[in-house]
């Protein structure tokens, strides 16, 4: 005989992990007010720049949605990291991509993962994809005091909606505004260039291969125009990070597949290889 499921933390009224921390361990909460700068003398010398993650994108394809990001983080006019990861699995059918100041962005991505896990443990079932998007909007809104001081976090959330049977993409502004994109989206320092590329390359019912190549080409376009975006480095073996989310779940695109896609794009621009996506 199966035991009846009982919710954990049944004495707590909310399913939110953040609310649980506020009630039991407020000392462990991320605290944007700590970032407030009190009036006082201006310190001598330049203020150290915080590492900033740059270009991320998402696009729908035949089986679901693809998310991608370059691997570079900048610190002012210098490269802070060349292999930073900007796409994180949220759960089996969704992921979050981060752009903005690296520290708060990474913290938000990890806390979002914990929020979804906690909700499922408390309620016995997971949030809908729309519910997850709304939960992330609340977290972005909570970061507003820090964002007004320059610690901006701008994520993209995407996943496969099991109820609708399709991939979905959500974008955000710094106030926590949540907006759904129907086809594709890109943000970050090279977001405008990546969006322009996706407008040219995207079409309905893209195959996996063409979706990977379109994402690679959009990031290469962004890297050519934006100094903050890192392009593929064939010498050091650094390539964009690409993830797929479909009915079968979350999947990382193998690096050798990403490398091949980048080489096809670069060869095509040298007048060799295959034509652009959608042109036969």
Q: How confident is the model at residue 79 (pLDDT cuts 50, 70, 90)?
A: confident
Q: Give the range among 22-36, 135-149, 245-259 with minimum mean pLDDT.
A: 22-36
Q: What is the pLDDT of residues 39-75, one digit of tens each?
A: 444 444 454 556 666 899 999 999 999 999 999 988 8
pLDDT higher than threshold 80 for residue 14: no
Q: What is the pTM of this model?
A: 0.81
DSSP letters for 126-183: PPPHHHHHHHHHHHHHHTHHHHTTT--EEEEEEEEETTTTEEEEEEE-TT--EEEESS
pLDDT value of position 39 = 40
> Catalytic residue numbers?
54
Residue 111 vs residues 46, 78, 93, 173, 207: alpha-carbon distances, Å: 32, 28, 17, 19, 33
Into which CATH architecture does domain 50-269 fall? 4-Layer Sandwich (3.60)
Q: pLDDT value at position 8?
A: 54
Q: Provide the residue ranges of all domains of the chain, joining segments of one domain with +.
A: 50-269
Q: With beta carbons less than 8 A apart as the criterion, state whether 155 and 136 touch.
A: yes
Burial 209-240 (b: 16+ CB within 10 A, else e): ebbbbbbbbbbbbbbeebebbbbbeeeeebbb
The per-residue pLDDT for range 232-251, each reduced to its tens digit, is: 999 999 999 999 999 999 99
């Amino acid at each position: 005989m199966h035991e009846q499921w009982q919710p954990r933390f049944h004495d707590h009224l909310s399913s939110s992990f953040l609310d649980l921390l506020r009630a039991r361990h407020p000392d462990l909460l991320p605290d944007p007010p700590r970032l407030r700068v009190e009036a006082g003398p201006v310190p001598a010398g330049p203020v150290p720049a915080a590492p900033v993650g740059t270009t991320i994108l998402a696009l729908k394809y035949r089986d679901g949605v693809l998310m991608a990001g370059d691997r570079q983080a900048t610190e002012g006019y210098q490269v802070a990291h060349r292999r930073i990861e900007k796409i994180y699995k949220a759960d089996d059918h969704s992921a979050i991509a981060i752009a903005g100041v690296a520290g708060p962005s990474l913290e938000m991505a990890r806390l979002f993962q914990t929020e979804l896990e906690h909700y499922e443990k408390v309620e016995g079932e997971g949030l809908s994809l729309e519910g997850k998007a709304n939960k992330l909007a609340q977290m972005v809104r909570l970061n507003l005091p820090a964002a007004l001081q320059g610690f901006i976090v701008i994520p993209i959330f995407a996943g496969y909606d099991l109820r609708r049977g399709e991939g979905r993409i959500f974008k955000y502004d710094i106030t926590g505004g949540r907006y759904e994109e129907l086809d594709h989206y890109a943000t970050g320092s090279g977001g405008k260039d990546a969006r322009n590329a996706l407008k040219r390359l995207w079409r309905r019912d893209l195959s996996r291969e063409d979706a990977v190549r379109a994402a690679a080409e959009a990031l290469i376009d962004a890297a050519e125009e934006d100094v903050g975006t890192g392009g593929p480095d064939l010498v050091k073996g650094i390539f964009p990070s690409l993830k797929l989310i479909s009915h079968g779940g979350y999947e990382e695109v193998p690096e050798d597949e990403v490398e091949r896609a980048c080489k096809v794009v670069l060869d095509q621009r040298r007048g060799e290889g295959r034509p652009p996506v959608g042109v036969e």
